[in-house]
Structure 1
Amino acid sequence: MHPTGSPAGRLAAVGNQMIEIHLWLSAELTRLQTSLDTPSRDLRAHCLTFCAALGRHHTGEDAGAFRLLAEEAPELRPVIENLITDHEVVAGILERVEALLGGDTAVPVAQVRAELGGLAALLESHFRYEEKRLVTALNALTGRPGTTEKLLGLTAPPHLPGPR
C-alpha cells in the first residue's frame, strides 16, 4: 500500500484519510464504469482489483476503526451498526460482480453495469453518511500508535486532493 507519511507509524487525521480513500474509491468506480463502454481484456482485472480494494477497506473499518470507535465513543454504536449493515450489502454486490466476471465467457456488460450502478448509488450515500458522522471522532485518534491501513483497510493514495 501507499506510505502514510506519518512519523513513527502514528495516526494522523484518520478521518481525513478516510475521506481521501473514499475519493479514490469513488474515482476508481467511475473509471471502472466508464471502461464498460469499451470493454477490454483488462476489464476483469480492473474490476476484481477494485472489488478487492473496496472489500479490504470495509473489512479494515469493521475490524479496526469501528471497533475502536465503539469502545471510545459508545454513542456512535448505532451509526457503526448501520455502516456495518451497509458493508454487508456492498459485499453482496461485490460477490455478484465477481461471479459475473468469473466465467470464461464474455463479460455480461449490461449486468455488470447494473450492479456497478447500484453499488455507486449505495456508496455515494454510505460514504457521505460515514464521513458526516465519523470524521471528527476519527480525527480525535490522531497521535495514537498504529497505521491507517490497520484502521481503514487501505492507506490513502498520496496523489489525491484534500478532503471535500
Structure 2
Amino acid sequence: MERERGQERLAAFGTELIAIHDHLRQELATVRQSLQDGHHDGPGQVHSLAAHCLAFCSALDQHHSGEDSSAFPALRQEFSDLAPVITKLEEDRALVASILQRLNQLLGELPTDPDAQDTVRVTGELDGPAAIIESHFTFEERTIVTALDALDRPDLTARSLFGISPDCR
C-alpha cells in the first residue's frame, strides 16, 4: 500500500511539469495581451507591465534552474537514452535566456508614456521568445513527461525537480 501511494506521487511529476508550464504560458499570455491591449498608459501601468514581465522571467529562470540542478541529472541517471534530448532542452533554454534578457532591457527602456511604435517594437520582441518558449515547453512535455512519471526517486519533490511548485510559488 505504501508503494502505491509513492507511485501515485511519482506519476504526478509529469502532470506537475505540465501544470507549471501551463501557468508560465498564462503569465506570458497576460504580458503579451497587456501590451497588445495598450494597458500601459502612464508610468504606473508601464511599471506594472515591466514588473509582471520580470516576475515571469524570474519564475521561468527558477524553473530552469531547478531542472538543471535536479530533474535533468535525475533523468540522465535513470534514463541515459534521454541525454541527447536533455542536451537539446538545455540548448533551447540558453537561447530563451538571452532573448528574455533582451526583452527585459527593452522594457526597461520603454518610456513612461509609450506610443504605438514603442508598443509594436516591444510586442515584436516578445513574439520571438513566446514562440520559442512554447516550442521548448511542447518538446519537453512530449519527450520527458513519461520518464518523469516513471522516475523512482522518492527523495525528490516537484519543487526540487522543477524549481517552483505547480502553483508557481
Please tell me the TM-score bracket, short chain as reference.
0.7 to 0.9
SS at match of 2:49: helix
2:95 is aligned, of 89, 97, 101, to: 89
- Per the alignment, residue 165 of structure 2 pairs with 155
Task: Provide the secondary structure at the position in 2 that maps to 1:126.
Answer: helix
Distance 1:95 1:125 in 2: 19
Q: What is the RMSD of the two structures over their aligned residues, measured on CA atoms?
A: 2.2
Q: How many residues get paired? A: 151
Q: After the TM superposition, which parts of structure 1 deviate over 6 Å for at least 4 consecutive aligned residues? A: none
In terms of Rg, which structure is larger? 2
Q: 1:119 aligns with which of 123, 129, 134?
A: 129
* Amino acid in the other structure paired with 2:31: L
Provide TM-score, normalisation by structure 1. 0.83
Deviations 1:4-43 (A, max 9, x none): xx99xx7551111000011111111111101112211311
Cα distance in 1 between the residues matched to 2:140 and 2:75 = 12
Query: Aligned-pair distance for 1:109?
Result: 2.8
CA deviation after TM superposition for structure 1 residue 110, in Å: 2.7
Q: Distance in 2 between matches of 1:33 and 1:127?
A: 18
Residue aligning to 1:75: 81
1: CA distance, partners of 2:26 / 2:152: 26
Counterpart position of 1:3: none
**In the TM superposition, what is the alpha-carbon distance from 1:116 to its structure 2 partner?**
1.6
Note closer, same or farther for the CA distance 1:152–1:111 as it changes in structure 2 (3 Å cut). same
Match of 1:98 in 2: 104
The structural deviation recorded for 1:104 is 7.7
TM-score (norm: length of structure 2): 0.81
Could you tell me how far apart the structure 1 residues matched to 2:151 and 2:165 are? 16
For 1:56 and 1:77, the matched residues in 2 are separated by 22
Aligned residue for 2:33?
A: 34
Question: Relative contact order, CA 8 A, sep 6+: which one is greater?
Answer: 1
Which residue is 2:60 aligned to? 54
Q: Equivalent pairs: percent with the same residue? A: 44
Q: 1:51 corresponds to which letter in structure 2? A: C
Letter in 1 for 2:154: R
Letter in 2 for 1:24: H
